[in-house]
Structure 1
Amino acid sequence: MTTTTAAPPVILAPSSDPGPVQQAVVESLLAGAEPETFLWIEFHLPDGGVRLRYAWTAGGAPLGDRIDRIAMAAEYDAADWLTITATHRTDSTRGRIVVQTHRLRPILADVQAGVRGTAAKRDELGRVLRAAARHSGRPLQGPPVLPRWLGVGPLLLNRPH
């Protein structure tokens, strides 16, 4: 004779913690993405804020870290990051969720080939930095210094700034 024991009922309770729902969305997005891909996911909140999540498909995290090491060794900056990642990115939305899907193999190829941001992109970023400095009440002394390569791998992106 076989006896079975019923599992206790699952009790669902209201929660103000969006974490589990956001994690489920991230897992769903990862399941639909190709290997060696980096996802930049923005959850736009009702209060006007944004919660940013990063995720990598199979092989994406080590490849992203490899790209970052090469880019940092070559002293790539934010202009280079914007130029290269924009070329190999697909944007999509799901309601208030914005997803940037970055194919990492083409990004690696561009970094290895020495692709860089244009002078126009550097000037544009410099203008943004000067304007931000003025608005903060701390004008820049001298030409603006562009931020470093932002990253496409977890070691650089998850590092405290």
Structure 2
Amino acid sequence: MALVFQYGSNISSDRLNSPDRLQGDAVPVGIARTMDDFELDFTVWSRSNSCAAADILPGAGRKVWGVLYEIPDYLIKRDTAGGRRSLDAIEGEGTNYRRVHIALEDARGTPIENDVITYVAITRRAGLRTSLEYCHHIISGLQQHDVPSHYIDYVKERIVANNPGLRDEVKQL
């Protein structure tokens, strides 16, 4: 089993495990946060979502929270998924995102010793706007997995910073 850190729309178990994605094979292990500081942003265009998708940028910022999933190894790469949709295909690995290793700690601050992968943007672009539908997956996933409310507030701020037109709707999420 591969350990995968999800911080964007696939943080939602319902979305990640939907029939057109991993069909129930992604098992949430628990919430985790990055050991290094990152800034959540929306820097990559997603054709399938028709909006800017989430990315984490290293450097100034804060610890990014997300959900750690166990996913069968064969469902990670396109060439091993055996006719199923792989996580690499879902994430757009090689076109929009690249798969990388990431250092995490659990909610208590204990480092996660296992090898963990996530996806970060290959080419970041400014001026892209995210959508309410896309961000609803992020917020509902954070809430579903009981991520601390201060972090959910931060994500809402980042959404509005990216797309001020969503201010009123994001407050309702």
TM-score if structure 1 supplies the norm length? 0.25
Larger radius of gyration between Structure 1 and Structure 2? 1
Query: Greater share of helix residues, 1 or 2?
Result: 1
Query: Greater share of strand residues, 1 or 2?
Result: 2
TM-score if structure 2 supplies the norm length? 0.24
